[in-house]
A = this chain, B = another copy of it.
């Protein structure tokens, strides 16, 4: 799992039928401050959002089966990343 900031949405018309009705967010994984300055953070991820996060919010994202548990509840769907929580607060090193 990782913490990410929601930076946008993605819309598709031609898509796998198991994606119908799902909201797809573009999320930007957060790293520690020093690493962000070096420009080596990983790229954007597309995550299905069953929770209702807004652009600018920080979220926890799970990959793989864990993501499908949050979105599909036992359905076999073409999703492998999902928002599983909206961050209220974090302790520790600043993330940017």
Taking Cβ atoms with an 8 Å cutoff, the residues of A that contact B are 1-3, 7-16, 18-19, 24, 26, 28-32, 34-35, 38-48, 50-52, 55, 60, 62-70, 74, 76-82, 84-93, 95
Contact = CB atoms under 8 A, between A and B. Distances in A.
Contacts of A69: 16, 18, 76-78
Nearest to A52: B14
B24 A1 contact: yes
Contact of A2 (B2, B14, B43): B43
A52 B15 CA distance: 10
B42 A32 contact: no
Nearest to A68: B66
B26 A70 contact: no
A29 B43 contact: yes
Contacts of A24: 1, 60, 85
